């Protein structure tokens, strides 16, 4: 039974709007920046394209699998509810803790930092870390404010942004497929990172980490399951429709990168105005292309920030209702139908991260921190089919158990790649997650009765 705060969340999102939210959550920074790193790690055209195809397959299998849980358990919070139901309150608390102190700020920080860089490039300004940090903080503040007007207004705004950036990415892909400039036209930067001479298993697994950052977002819609109309039908359709649309456009734009820049050109692309998308736009469309690309990147990052600040704070509504987090954090405004405090806190922790970590550190920390929970959520399908066979399942995973097994295999390869390529960022992410265990003990030991289940208030 939903508690009072959950009942204040209105069901206003239909299948088309839901699919656009998936698109908006996914197209952010990854597809513009990570292809260069993937090219350097793979060192081969076939391996490069293979990793992107594998990433798309993993995302599709994940979406198909989690669609069963979304249709059967369409509670606000998404993964939180499925983890709690299958694995118990300690795992659910750990997910909430990781969301608060690692996943939300890493994602928001990555989006906001690239948005700031794109805005500065549009103004013709060079790199400046302090200025970009201030701009990124301003982006987060503006996006948080926009999400306080209610889910209907926020979702409709995002639908327009999502459509615009999808068309923009598809247009960039088309330009890349029609015009070939050759890799030699991309200058060799003085600080070019190491480039693999050919594909290796370790390099491919490490590349998969970057690819899955670009694909991530396919499960975000489930966090607002309590605000979706006819969730048993809408959630599976929107999750799958949005994910398929993303996979298609990503494969096309990667083919465009290779055709226009060549593998060497991709490998030479680094960061800022030298990222792959910037080289593609500038070499094919000149200065006009540079300006259009800057606008596209800015809009994409703003859209991803808006979606993250729409969906992520909803996780704290059931966390508070179930007594695993302070109930006040997930309190939903009676007038706006929005968890105001959770939205503000999410923006603030994002500001803290964007002030202290680079884009690469933010994105790697996010992937390393999130995929263990994706794995547990997919395993929850197996567990709940055994422990709750009578649970109504309006949608069932096709080709079960092979589809979830493919996801688990791919996710396992990604985690191996992250550990083989482990640096301080990966260790930082794992350390932050590990602090969730003592944090849970402290919460259970010292929580006041008033911080318990919000249904009693």
Q: Read off the pLDDT of residues 363-378 as tens digits, 9 standing for 90 and up.
A: 777 777 888 999 999 9
Q: What pLDDT is stored for residue 454 in this prediction?
A: 41
Nearest to 39, CA basis, from 228, 235, 192: 192
Q: Quote the longest CA-to-CA distance of the chain.
A: 67
Q: State the chain's mean pLDDT as an integer.
A: 84
Which tens digits make up the pLDDT trace of 143-190?
998 888 776 677 777 788 888 889 999 999 998 898 776 555 676 776
Tabulate helix, strand, coil % of the chain (nearest 5).
Answer: 80, 0, 20
Supply the pLDDT for residue 92.
94
pLDDT band at residue 82 under the 50/70/90 scheme: very high
What's the confidence (pLDDT) of residue 456?
34
Closest CA to 172 of 269, 246, 280, 273: 280
**pLDDT for residue 389 is more than 90:** yes
Decide if 217 contacts 26 (C-beta within 8 A): yes
Q: Does 244 or 150 have the greater pLDDT score?
A: 244
CB 342 within 8 A of CB 76: no
Phi, psi at 357, each rounded to 5°:
-135, 155
The encoded tokens of residue 104 equal 């939300």
pTM assigned to the model: 0.86
pLDDT of residue 91: 94
Distance, CA of 330 to CA of 452 (rounded, Å): 12
Q: Which residues pair with 13 in a beta bridge?
A: 228
Spatial separation of the C-alpha atoms in residues 74 and 177, rounded to whole Å: 41
Query: Which tens digits make up the pLDDT trace of 267-316?
Result: 888 755 567 888 888 888 887 887 888 888 888 888 888 888 888 898 99
Output the pLDDT for position 118: 84
What mean pLDDT is predicted for residues 64-90? Answer: 92
| 422-444: average pLDDT | 80
pLDDT at 236 (0 to 100): 92
pLDDT over 70, % of the chain:
87
- pLDDT category at 222 given cuts 50, 70, 90 is confident
Q: For residue 48, what pLDDT is reported? A: 95
Kindly state the average pLDDT of the residues 342-359.
82
426 φ/ψ sector (left φ>0, alpha ψ -120 to 50, else beta): alpha
The pLDDT of residue 226 is above 60: yes
Residue 27, pLDDT > 90, answer: no
- pLDDT tens, 196-209? 878 888 888 888 88
Which of 368-394 are b and which e, b meaning 16 or more Cβ less than 10 Å from the residue's Cβ? bbbbbbbbbbbbbbbebbeeeeeeebb
pLDDT of residue 261: 87
pLDDT, residue 455, reads 39
Between 75 and 181, the higher pLDDT residue:
75
Q: Which residues have C-beta within 8 Å of that of residue 93, sequence separation ≥ 6?
A: 319, 324, 325, 436, 440, 443
| Residue 228 phi, psi dihedral angles, 5° rounding | -105, 130
Q: Take residue 122 and report the two structure tokens written for it.
A: 């549009």
Residue 355, phi then psi, degrees to nearest 5: -80, -15
Mean pLDDT of 323-330: 88
The CA distance from 60 to 300, in Å, is 22
Write down the domain spans for the chain: 4-444
Q: Is the pLDDT of residue 56 over 90?
A: yes
Predicted pLDDT of residue 422? 58
Per the listing, tokens 């964007």 go with 354
Residue 271: what pLDDT? 59
Nearest to 181 by CA among 268, 260, 275, 269: 260
Question: What's the mean pLDDT in 111-118?
Answer: 85
Say yes or no to pLDDT of 450 above 50: no
CATH code of 4-444, in short, is: 1.20.1740.10
């Amino acid at each position: 039974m939903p508690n009072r705060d959950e009942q204040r969340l209105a069901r206003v999102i239909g299948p088309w709007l839901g699919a656009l939210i998936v698109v908006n959550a996914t197209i952010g920074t990854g597809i513009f920046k990570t292809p260069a790193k993937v090219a350097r790690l793979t060192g081969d055209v076939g391996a490069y394209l293979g990793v992107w195809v594998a990433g798309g397959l993993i995302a599709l299998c994940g979406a198909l699998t989690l669609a069963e849980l979304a249709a059967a358990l369409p509670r606000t919070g998404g993964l939180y509810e499925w983890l709690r139901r299958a694995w118990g309150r300690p795992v659910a608390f750990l997910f909430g803790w990781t969301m608060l102190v690692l996943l939300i700020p890493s994602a928001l920080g990555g989006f906001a930092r690239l948005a700031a860089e794109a805005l500065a490039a549009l103004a013709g300004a060079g790199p400046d870390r302090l200025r970009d940090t201030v701009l990124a903080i301003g982006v987060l503040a503006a996006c948080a404010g926009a999400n306080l007007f209610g889910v209907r207004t926020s979702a409709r705004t995002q639908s327009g942004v999502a459509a615009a950036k999808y068309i923009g990415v598809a247009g960039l892909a088309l330009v890349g497929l029609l015009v070939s400039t050759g890799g030699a036209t991309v200058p060799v930067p003085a600080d070019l990172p190491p480039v693999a001479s050919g594909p290796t298993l370790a390099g491919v697994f490490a590349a998969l980490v970057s690819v899955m950052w670009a694909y991530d977002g396919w499960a975000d819609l489930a966090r607002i399951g309590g605000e979706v109309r006819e969730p048993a039908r809408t959630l599976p359709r929107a999750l799958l429709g949005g994910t398929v649309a993303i996979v298609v456009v990503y494969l096309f734009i990667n083919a465009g990168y290779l055709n226009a820049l060549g593998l060497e050109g991709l490998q030479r692309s680094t960061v800022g105005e030298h990222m792959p998308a910037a080289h593609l736009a500038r070499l094919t469309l000149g200065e006009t292309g540079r300006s259009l690309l800057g606008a596209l990147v800015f809009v994409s990052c703003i859209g991803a920030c808006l979606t993250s600040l729409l969906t992520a704070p909803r996780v704290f509504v059931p966390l508070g209702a179930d007594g695993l987090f302070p109930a006040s954090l997930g309190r939903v405004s009676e007038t706006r139908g929005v968890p105001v405090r959770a939205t503000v806190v999410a923006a603030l922790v994002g500001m803290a991260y964007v002030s202290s970590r680079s884009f690469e550190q933010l994105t790697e920390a996010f992937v390393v921190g999130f995929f263990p929970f994706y794995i547990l959520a997919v395993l929850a399908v197996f567990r709940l089919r055994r422990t709750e066979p009578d649970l109504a399942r309006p949608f069932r995973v096709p080709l079960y158990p092979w589809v979830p097994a493919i996801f688990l295999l791919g996710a396992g390869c990604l985690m191996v790649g992250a550990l083989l390529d482990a640096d301080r960022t990966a260790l930082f992410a794992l350390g932050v997650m590990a602090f969730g265990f003592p944090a849970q003990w402290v919460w259970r030991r010292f929580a006041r009765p008033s911080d318990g289940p919000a249904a009693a208030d």
